[in-house]
Amino acid sequence: MKNEPLPIDAVEGHPAVGAPVRIEYSARHVHLSQADQDVLFGPGYQMKVLKELSQTGQYAYEEKVTIKGSKGEAEARVLGPCRKQTQVELAFSDGFRLGLATPVRISGDLAGSAPCELIGPKGSVELSEGVINDQRHLHASDKEAEALGLKHGDIVSVRVPGETPLTVHDVAVRVHPTFRLNIHLDTDEANAASLSAQGATGEIAAVQKSLVHWKQK
């Protein structure tokens, strides 16, 4: 694993290389806008928190919605709190099974993304856009990023342990005061490494050049 080829744009001697990072993965899920939540579950409905997530102020609800594509349907859990625009996050295998396009996007970058229908207990919503494959990303607080010499918009490679270990590239660094250091993968990526449900601890293998600095969504 230490000798595998790394990106040609890797930064030599970067202090983040070798740093441990917690690896988590998530199944398909949906972030709803308040307006869409009102249609799907009824105005004034109070969502029930199932558990808090690793990122401060974010949580999984007990409630699920049905995602409908041209080839089928699948349930997905709703995550909170509400966002300005509804976002549906699918792995590539989910999109293939449902007949939905899954463009790779940074969370919140939804312009021109794929459409779908969402079905809830009280109604349905036709999304003209909002379906994405969330680009693999690393969360870090301001202090964690500074300690590693990273900044919002950097791109890194991360070694993922498991029964079939691998290295993932083009991991977008996202920095915010409320974030905690970890990397998020989807189920396709986690399955490729044979990760357990508990996740794992990997390490930053390389820091690629800062290709893009996007605005925080």
Domain that holds residue 61: 27-134
Do 45 and 55 fall within a single domain? yes
Report CA dihedral (138, 142, 143, 148) to the nearest 10 degrees: 50
Whole-angstrom Cα distance, residue 167 to residue 205?
8
Do 31 and 124 fall within a single domain? yes
Do 130 and 85 fall within a single domain? yes
Q: Is residue 113 part of a domain?
A: yes
Q: How many CB atoms lie within 10 A of CB 104?
A: 12
pLDDT tens-place values along the chain, 217 residues long: 555 666 766 777 899 999 999 999 989 999 999 999 999 999 999 999 999 988 888 999 999 999 999 999 999 999 999 999 999 999 999 999 999 999 999 999 999 999 999 999 999 999 999 999 999 999 999 999 999 999 999 999 999 988 899 999 999 999 999 999 999 899 999 999 998 878 899 999 999 866 544 444 4
State the pLDDT at residue 163.
Answer: 86
Q: Is residue 91 part of a domain?
A: yes
Residue finishing a domain among 134, 149, 176: 134
| Chain centroid to CA 92 | 13
Residue finishing a domain among 77, 110, 134: 134
Q: Is residue 171 part of a domain?
A: yes
Do 151 and 57 fall within a single domain? no
Whole-angstrom Cα distance, residue 173 to residue 71?
34
Q: Is residue 213 part of a domain?
A: no
Do 127 and 141 fall within a single domain? no
Do 142 and 175 fall within a single domain? yes
| CATH number of domain containing 148 | 2.40.40.20
State the pLDDT at residue 214.
Answer: 41
Q: Is residue 3 part of a domain?
A: no
Do 56 and 125 fall within a single domain? yes
The string of DSSP letters for 133-186 reads: EEPPEEEE-HHHHHHHT--TT-EEEEEE-SSS-EEEEEEEEEE-TT--SEEEEE
- Closest to 159 measured CA to CA, from 116, 196, 206, 122: 206
Domain count of the chain? 2
Do 96 and 147 fall within a single domain? no
User: What's the whole-model pTM score?
Assistant: 0.89
Do 31 and 87 fall within a single domain? yes
Do 122 and 162 fall within a single domain? no
DSSP for residue 11? P
Do 36 and 123 fall within a single domain? yes
State the pLDDT at residue 216.
Answer: 40
